[in-house]
């Protein structure tokens, strides 16, 4: 079965460019604006969407995404609400892959089987769950794979060659390389080390390798995207939402701020190998 994720990576490969994967927090700054942002992403150049599930305790996220999550929760977002957003998106867009990204507890709280059934029905393509390492694959990874949903694993600078096979074993869709040891939105310490790591991972898997954490500009996208099959941008998009708000509320600039930034980043990925 060719999944939306595999299809999209094959398509961008044919264009000789990396995929632009964009992260937004579901429900930030409010449910309606967030839905409008989501709908605007593909046209602006997003090849694939990571939709953040807000969580009260995002241990792996920097301040920008922490605050985005708090705005979403304050706006009344729930895991069911996130799935409803995907369902709504899918009525108009059958091809852009959507990966849900978050932490395990909201999913565990809903119940894994119930969640997976709802995710399949809504049109979710993949999951990234930060606090589920391969050691906990029985929890959600294996049930998700059985349900036909990709389980995308993070590999990090601390994942050495000895451990990589463990991490890659049940990974599907793509491999997400975290560019540094740190939280989302921190600075990449060494670009050379990132491309070396991408090559190293490719020695272990045929899956596409996307790089995320710390990619902020079109120049970063072009630079990192030279070697990676995809680049993931999140923090700056969540910051664009934050900067567009007045008194914490969305303005007529909010959707446009994200759309313009995505368009700019897309120009970066297009020239990555030019």
| Binding stretches for another protein (CB under 8 A) | 55-62, 66, 73, 78-80, 103-110, 130-136, 153-160, 163, 167, 178, 181-183, 186
**Does the annotation mark 139 as catalytic?**
no
**Does the annotation mark 136 as catalytic?**
no
Q: How far is the CB of 185 from another protein (least distance, A)?
A: 11
Closest to another protein by CB, 33 vs 66, is 66
Q: How far is the CB of 189 from another protein (least distance, A)?
A: 10
Nearest-angstrom CA–CA distance, 52 and 106? 12
Q: How far is the CB of 84 from another protein (least distance, A)?
A: 13
Q: One of 28, 47, 61, 137 is an active-site residue; which one?
A: 61
Closest to another protein by CB, 41 vs 72, is 72
Q: Is the dihedral of CA 211, 100, 77, 253 positive or negative?
A: positive
Q: One of 47, 50, 125, 223 is an active-site residue; which one?
A: 50
Give the CA distances from residue 79 to residues 43, 53, 179, 203, in Å, rounded to whole numbers and listed in that order.
Answer: 26, 7, 28, 36
Nearest-angstrom CA–CA distance, 12 and 96? 12
Q: How many residues does the chain have?
A: 274
Closest to another protein by CB, 157 vs 256, is 157
Closest to another protein by CB, 36 vs 186, is 186
190: region left, alpha or beta (phi > 0 left; psi from -120 to 50 alpha): beta
- For residue 261, count other CB atoms closer than 10 A to its CB: 21
- Annotate 91-150 with DSSP letters as a single string: HH-SSS-EEEEE-HHHHHHH-HHHHHHHHHHHT--EEEETT--GGGTTTTHHHHHHTT-E
Q: How far is the CB of 60 from another protein (least distance, A)?
A: 5
State the residue for tokens 């059985």. 146
Q: Which residues are catalytic?
A: 50, 61
């Amino acid at each position: 079965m060719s999944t939306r994720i595999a299809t999209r990576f094959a398509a961008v490969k044919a264009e000789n460019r990396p995929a632009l994967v964009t992260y937004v927090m579901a429900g930030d700054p409010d449910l309606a604006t967030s839905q409008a942002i989501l709908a605007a992403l593909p046209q602006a150049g997003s090849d694939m969407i990571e939709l953040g599930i807000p969580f009260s305790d995002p241990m792996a996220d920097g301040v920008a995404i922490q605050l985005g999550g708090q705005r979403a929760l304050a706006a009344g977002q729930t895991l069911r609400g996130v799935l409803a957003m995907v369902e709504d998106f899918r009525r108009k867009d059958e091809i852009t892959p959507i990966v849900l990204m978050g932490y395990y507890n909201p999913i565990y709280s809903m119940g894994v089987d119930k969640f997976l059934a709802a995710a399949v029905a809504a049109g979710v393509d993949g999951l990234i769950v930060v606090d589920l390492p391969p050691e906990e694959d029985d929890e959600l990874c294996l049930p998700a794979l059985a349900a036909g949903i990709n389980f995308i694993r993070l590999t990090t600078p601390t994942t050495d060659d000895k451990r990589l096979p463990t991490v890659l074993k049940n990974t599907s869709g793509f491999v997400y390389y975290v560019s540094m040891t740190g939280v989302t939105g921190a600075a990449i310490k060494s670009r050379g080390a990132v491309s070396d790591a991408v090559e190293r991972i490719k020695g272990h898997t045929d899956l596409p390798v996307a790089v995320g954490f710390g990619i902020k500009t079109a120049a970063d996208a072009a630079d990192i995207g030279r070697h990676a099959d995809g680049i993931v941008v999140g923090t700056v998009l969540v910051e664009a939402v934050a900067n567009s708000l007045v008194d914490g509320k969305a303005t007529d600039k909010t959707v446009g701020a994200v759309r313009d930034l995505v368009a700019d980043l897309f120009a970066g990925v297009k020239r990555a190998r030019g």
